[in-house]
Amino acid sequence: MKLYFMGICGTAMGNAALLARAAGHDVSGADTGVYPPMSSVLAEAGILLHEGYDATRLARLAPDLVVIGNAMSRGNPEVEWLLDTRALKFTSLPALLHDTVLATRKNIVVCGTHGKTTTTALAAFLLRENGRDPGFLIGGVPLDPPAGNHLGKPTDPFVIEGDEYDSAFFDKRSKFIHYAPHVAVLNNLEFDHADIFRDLADVQRTFAHLARIVPRNGWVVLNGDDDNLRALGPLPWTRVVRVGTGEHNDIRISGFAENAQGVRFSLTWAGRLWGEVTWSAPGIFNARNAAMAATASALAIAGESPAAAMAALSLAPLARFRGVKRRQEKLVERPGLTVIEDFGHHPTALAETLTSLRARYPGAMLTAVFEPRSNTARTKTLQAGFMRALALADEVFIGAVNRADKLKETERFDAEAVVEHLETQGVHAATAPTNTEVLVLLQAATLGAAAGTKPRVTVFFSNGSFDGIIAAYATAAKN
């Protein structure tokens, strides 16, 4: 089949295109700003890439099916031509994945406001390290496993990141509704994506819809410490396993400790020790990601008995897990300075990472650099939460609000107000009209004569490019 992907260079779209190519389909696609690394990976796989969108070209290519990414909207010339002529069939990415891969597989669908990418990578990694050949689709760039997509054996599980964001401009259901879960991992639930959901109850509603389609012989692996998930109720139509630190959980994380040498914790299942874990991944949040991934993977391959599940999946490989790029990724590590890049764009994610860094680098000056970029972070919706989270740092620099001109001033994230609040909390803070100016302030304070002699950790939080200042700062920090 000839497939054409609109928005092919996005991480999810690109990895799905590679899956389709591996399955033997003839794949091409278009995007604006076709750039590495995804463009290089796609080209190496024999996928033809086109710069920009052109209805005449699409008509000439005449694919059997057009896959429309959820970044596409009305006004796109190819979208308008498809709707005007109805000359070609089109679908969303989630629907394509269901019809071509997921409908016949035993799927582990990893969901949650935070940690989806890391937990998906962990599940795929653990299954592979335990002798299985799972399929997987990861919405990021993992170091383990060594690729973001793989078809795997049809008889082994398929692990996929279950995003609650909408499927396409013509299908406003959450992507994960298409993913036919056998094991649904509900890792956490908070209000986010204010451009899609009205409130927390609206987010809970879509998670409840996902839980409703887990079969009775399947599983919901649920964070039993999360009040917003517990509010979904008992889910009596399927089997539920609860994971967390509280005594009421089936799988318990205990003995968590973090210091400069790393992290250690234990996992028990129904009161029996599953394993002692010592690894490098920071924070209690990653310990929970590991517990959720391990539980889902063991259930998918061994079924109901805790003893059989624990025997089927060793936790020992966790010591070798290297993580995912842009998730607490160290860019620079030299005496006196560590530079870290993180994908964080929600107050809880920022707070958990900053708390972990305090434990990991005791006595260091902690500098947080935050870009209000996501469709929610760039608004006032979570501003109070960002104030509380950023107050955990010693020093804060706030970048320019992304696409600020598209928001009313009354709705826009107010960087100046956040700076003023942080100063009242004893946290030095600064902002500037452009990210280039923020970089100048940051370098003067942390790399110049004013930096002082105290060890420093500088952590960047952004779900985008931050206008290139992360790479520029890292380069300057190495010199």
Question: Tokens representing 375?
Answer: 């469709």
pLDDT band at 397 (very low <50, low <70, confident <90, very high): very high
pLDDT band at 10 (very low <50, low <70, confident <90, very high): confident
DSSP state of 412: B
- Alpha-helix runs per DSSP H in 400-461: 415-424, 435-446
41 pLDDT more than 90: no
Q: Kindly report, as residue ranges, where domains of CATH 3.40.50.720 are found in the chain.
A: 2-92
Res 195: pLDDT: 87
d(CA 364, CA 466) in angstroms, rounded, equals 24
What tokens appear for 63 in the block?
């694919």
pLDDT tens-digit readout, 254-296: 999 999 999 999 999 999 999 999 999 999 999 999 999 999 9
Query: How far, in Å, are 107, 225, 230, 231, 234 from residue 204 at the CA level?
Result: 22, 16, 10, 8, 14
| Mean local confidence (pLDDT), 44-72 | 96
Residue 36 has pLDDT above 80, yes or no: no
Q: Residue 307 pLDDT more than 90?
A: no
Dihedral pair phi/psi, residue 425, rounded to 5°: -95, 5
Architecture of the CATH domain 2-92 = 3-Layer(aba) Sandwich (3.40)
Query: 101-320 sits in which CATH class?
Result: alpha beta
Domain(s) labelled CATH 3.90.190.20 in the chain stretch across 329-478
Q: What pLDDT shows up at residue 389?
A: 97
**Quick one: fold of 329-478?**
Protein-Tyrosine Phosphatase; Chain A (3.90.190)
326 sits in the region (left: phi over 0; alpha: psi -120 to 50; else beta) called left
What's the average model confidence in pLDDT over 71-98? 97
At 212 the pLDDT is 97
Question: Can you tell me the mean pLDDT for 19-33?
Answer: 93
The pTM for the full model equals 0.92
Contact 457, 364 (CB under 8 A): yes
Q: Decide which of 345 and 453 is more confident.
A: 345
